[in-house]
Structures are given as C-alpha cells and as structure tokens.
Amino acid sequence: MEALRQDRMIGPDLDSTIGHNGVRESDEFILDIFQERKKSFKLNRTKYTVQCGQKFEFDFSKAIITLPVFGKQEGHYELELIANTLSKNHNEKSRYLFRSLGEKAFRLNGIYCFEAFLERGDVLDIGFNRIYFPRVETTPKLDLQLSERVIKSPIAVLIEGETGTGKTTLAKKIHEESGRSGRFVHLNLSAFSNSLIESELFGHVKGAFTGAINSKRGAIMEAHRGTLFLDEIDSLTTDLQTKLLLFLDNYEVRAVGGESTTTADVRMIFASGSKLATKVEMKEMRKDFYYRLQAGCSVNLESLRAKPCRIKELCRNFEKSHVVVFDQELINFYSACSWPGNIRQLQSHLIKKKLLSDGKKLIFDEMDKDLLMGKINVDSNDIYPLEKMKIDYCHQVYLKMDRNISKTAKTLELCQNTLKSYLQKKEGELRSDKIIHVNF
C-alpha cells in the first residue's frame, strides 16, 4: 500500500514519479454509474470536479461530475492535469492527478488513498460508482492466418499446435467468420474409445449393436451445413483413419448398421497436438490419410515460448475483461516464463491470481514462484541452447530478488559482471518483442 501511494504522489522530481503510462490529456475515461449505463468521455479539460449527490449529472460547461451516493459516503474530489517541472505549460509529459478535497478517501485499484497520479488501466471506486481509464493500446484481433476467401469457402483446415495454444478458439472463429448457417460441432476423438468413435462420427441405427436402443445421427450430420471440428485427429487408429478417409472422398455418410447413405454438407476442421508428419514416420498414421488432411489449408499455432510478445497482449486483454492492473515487472516476469501449457495455463494462472490477490493491482508474489519451479522442462519440441536457459533463469531470479544485482549474484554464485552480461542479453530479447521501458 505504501509503495503505491509513494509512487503515485507528487515528489521533488515530477517526471520520475508520474510513470510512462500516466493518464494524459485526450485519453478516454469511462463512467460506470450506479444503476446507469456506462458512459465514455475524453479528457479535454485541465481540471474536473467530482462531487457526490443524489443522482448522476455531468455539467460540461463547468466540468463537474456528480455521482450518486448514499448516507455517509459523501465526498468531494478533483482531477487535475499537472504540468511537468521543466515547463509551466502543459505538454505530452503532463499527467492527471486525482485528489480528495475532504476527509473521504477513494479506492484506487482496491486500495484507499487521498491523492495519486493516475495510470492507464487504473480503476477508481467512489461508493458504488467506478471510473475506469482504459489503456491506449488495443488487443489485436485473433490472427486467423487465412484469407477471407479461404475462411468463407468449404475447404478443409488442419490446425497444428501444442496443447493450450488456442486450436479450439481458432476453429470456432473460423466457423463464425465463414457465414455457414449450420452448427459448430466439436468432437474430441481422444475422449472416446475406439469402439465408439465410428458411432459418434457417423451415427447408428436402432439395434445396430448391443445397447443401441435408439437411433443416433452422429456428429457429421449434426454439423450439416455447419462446421465439424475433429480435435486430436492424431489419436485415430489406422482402421478408423480408413473409414474417415472414405467419407472425405465423397462426403457420403452411412450410419453403423444402416443400408442407405446420405450426403453431408459440412466444413471439416482438424486439429493435432503433435506433428502429423512424425506420426507417418512412426507408421501411426496412413500416408494417404495424411495427404488428405494436408490437401486443404494448414495453420501452425506457435507456443508462447516462441512468441513471448503474445504474453503481454494476453495480460492486457485480461486487465480489460477482469478490471485489474498488472505491475510492469510482473508482465516482464511472465514474458520470461516457459508456459508449457501455453495460453490455457497462463489464463488459468491469472484467474487464480485474481481470485486470491488483495486489491485490483497484481504484483509478483508467492503464487508466481511455482512458475519458477516449473521453468526447466525438457520437451522434444522445446529444445534450445543451454546458454539461453541460463539467461532466462538468471533474469527470473533477478526479478524475484527485487532487481538487486548483488543479492542475485550471491544467490546464483556468479560474479556481478557475468550476471549483468546475462541481464543485458535478456533486455535485448524483451526489446525485440516490443516490451519497451520508457522513463521520463
């Protein structure tokens, strides 16, 4: 709490206390008023007065915002643009300061305080009202890696990627963008025994086998005029590969135990957590089946280790959807972690951290130390030079030691010059991933 207050309050050097992410003139702010619709405005005044009353009002001529509060929650606040110390005029380095003019504190990211410079992403709570300052950067749209013509066509798509890289999310997005009128049907082939997969895919007629007391359509016909997403396609046995291959030749469906065939109008999307070419080499997949899957369009989803800049994007997106604020050092730490479970692991960790953390600002704590324990993970698809592993590990310990060079060097039993060399190399990697540190 004290660290937050000191970092955000006026100091002798205004430029260093504001922070590079401070709220500037022309930035947006959102008013989430009790029992009112959210309202979005731009900061175009040097000073705003925030007062409490019985109902919401915004006097544009005087820049007075009245928030509805009840009982003893009354208060009087001021939002003012503060010029930097080098110039009396406002410029790009000027920032907004929020202060209480009375005895009532406000909550900044869940922490009570009376005065603080604001940063993009901050959440102010006054009674049951909330003022939110969104970040300027926007989360990019999901990269479909396919042209619009391909997405809207019936051509099959093969998605390869490690577990947790977002194969299901991508498949759903392709279906939504395709404009197909039918359903999106997701079938994880590894979740069924081999004896049941044929029935799950093609359906069966009543009495086709023991236990078939009713007829069943099957996933292919359920996805008629829509999209069928077959996940874990690499788990199919060679016998089932043959049966699915026959369907892919003419898209004709014959239910188990049935005598007639039906033509299905279905868009096929396949996903695999491993390289299918390796499966062919190990004779676990038929070559003709592999070539059929490859005949359409292929998409390869990179892991978070291969693209650490995605970690920052996901954290920013989590901030907006869950109304929290990340400490920049925490984002840098996450960017250096391996995340073997990729996006799914990162999102699960962030949800747990939000639930167990105090306040709205998330910082490095005991919960994150588990990620250090799981950092060293040798995988056939994740082999990189020992030198890189040493650099990553030294950087993580450095963050854990609150950026104390001497303490980190002593813990790692390294000389300080060697440690500094590793840290400089890591900073170079982070800059290349567009994680930029700016000091005013």
DSSP string for 242-309:
HHHHHHHHH-EE--BT-SS-EE---EEEEEESS-HHHHHHTTSS-HHHHHHHHTSEEEEEPPTTT-TH
Q: Is the pLDDT of residue 413 over 60?
A: yes
Q: How far is Cα 1 from Cα 3, in angstroms, rounded to an integer?
A: 5
pTM above 0.75, yes or no: no
Q: Is the pLDDT of residue 396 over 50?
A: yes
pLDDT band at 132 (very low <50, low <70, confident <90, very high): confident
Q: Is the pLDDT of residue 252 over 60?
A: yes
More confidently predicted of 350 and 322: 350
pLDDT band at 84 (very low <50, low <70, confident <90, very high): low
Q: What is the mean pLDDT of the chain?
A: 81
Q: Pairing between strand 64-68 and 47-53?
A: parallel
pLDDT band at 434 (very low <50, low <70, confident <90, very high): very low
284 backbone φψ class: left, alpha, beta (φ>0; ψ -120 to 50): alpha
111-115, 166-170, 317-321, 349-353: lowest mean pLDDT where?
A: 317-321
Q: Is the pLDDT of residue 201 over 80?
A: yes
79-88, 212-221, 384-393, 399-408: lowest mean pLDDT where?
A: 79-88
8-12, 20-24, 185-189, 354-358: lowest mean pLDDT where?
A: 8-12
How do residues 16-68 score in pLDDT, each as one tens digit? 445 557 788 888 888 888 888 888 888 888 899 998 888 888 988 889 998 88
Report whether 51 contacts 65 (CB < 8 A): yes
The 8-class DSSP code of residue 94 comes to -
pLDDT band at 143 (very low <50, low <70, confident <90, very high): low
Q: How far is Cα 185 from Cα 23, in angstroms, rounded to an integer?
A: 45
How do residues 218-230 score in pLDDT, each as one tens digit? 899 999 999 999 9
Q: Is the pLDDT of residue 109 over 70?
A: yes
φ and ψ of 53, to 5 deg = -155, -160
Give CB contacts under 8 A, 24+ apart, made by 419-425.
419/394, 422/390, 422/391, 422/394, 422/395, 423/394, 423/395, 423/398, 425/391
pLDDT band at 429 (very low <50, low <70, confident <90, very high): low
% of the chain beyond a pLDDT of 70: 84
More confidently predicted of 85 and 298: 298
Q: Pairing between strand 129-132 and 123-126?
A: antiparallel
Token pair of 35, please?
């029992």
171 backbone φψ class: left, alpha, beta (φ>0; ψ -120 to 50): alpha
